[in-house]
Amino acid sequence: MKLLYAFLAVFGPLILIKLFYAVGTVMALPRTKGALFVSTSRRKIRAILEALSFSPETKLVDLGCGDGRFLRAVYRRYGVVGEGFEINPWAYFLARFYNWLARCPARVKRRDFMKEDLSRYEVIFCYLFPDLLLDLAPKLKAETKPGTIIISCNFPLPGWTPWMVLEEDDPIYIYRR
Ligand SMILES: C[S@@+](CC[C@H](N)C(=O)[O-])C[C@H]1O[C@@H](n2cnc3c(N)ncnc32)[C@H](O)[C@@H]1O
């Protein structure tokens, strides 16, 4: 019995975290169309923030913000207070928790970005899978204003012509409306 308690004390929190992650991922799957919670590497984020520059007033959003790392990076570097939408409960929890730890004022909402009006943003960042980008591309055409910058990690936006492509091997597509 003692052994069981010891096991639960050591591994219980880990098992709970894994369970939360698995349930959150399965719950979100119908809407994420396969887009799992996988984070953009810090190297890629650095490359984006070196190629583009923003003012603190820039209206920026991360569509499917995961743990919110892009929002924190852009706040640290340019003082931009961005917004993020995330439907996976585990990723949402992490984003809120890390933002709190880092004292980052970025706003993260647990909502489906496909139901949001995207016309207010000047910079839109995403790292989503091709099936979802097929739905998102026409929404962006319909809602964004001229001059809006859209950054898509790894996968191109169908029907859009990139303004810049960073890191050819593992590309980051940048579009300008
Ligand atoms: C590949 S991850 C990228 C995370 C983060 N943007 C990054 O680059 O580190 C994609 C995220 O989008 C979220 N997602 C997918 N579809 C969504 C939707 N319709 N609304 C909100 N979040 C969504 C997923 O839950 C997942 O966490």
Domain layout of the chain by residue ranges? 42-176
| pTM of this structure | 0.88
3.40.50.2300, 1.10.10.10, 3.40.50.150, 3.40.50.720: CATH of 42-176: 3.40.50.150
Q: Tell me the pLDDT tens digit for each residue of 112-163.
A: 999 999 999 999 999 999 999 999 999 999 999 999 999 999 999 999 999 9
Return the structure tokens found at 13: 């929190």
Ligand 1 neighbourhood includes 64 CB (under 6 angstroms): yes
* 65 contacts 128 by C-beta, under 8 angstroms: no
- SS3 readout for 102-115: CCCCCEEECCCHHH
- CA nearest ligand 1 atom 25, residue: 88
Which of 39, 43, 59 lies closest to 51, judged by CA? 43
Q: Tell me the pLDDT tens digit for each residue of 81-122.
A: 999 999 999 999 999 999 999 999 999 999 999 999 999 999
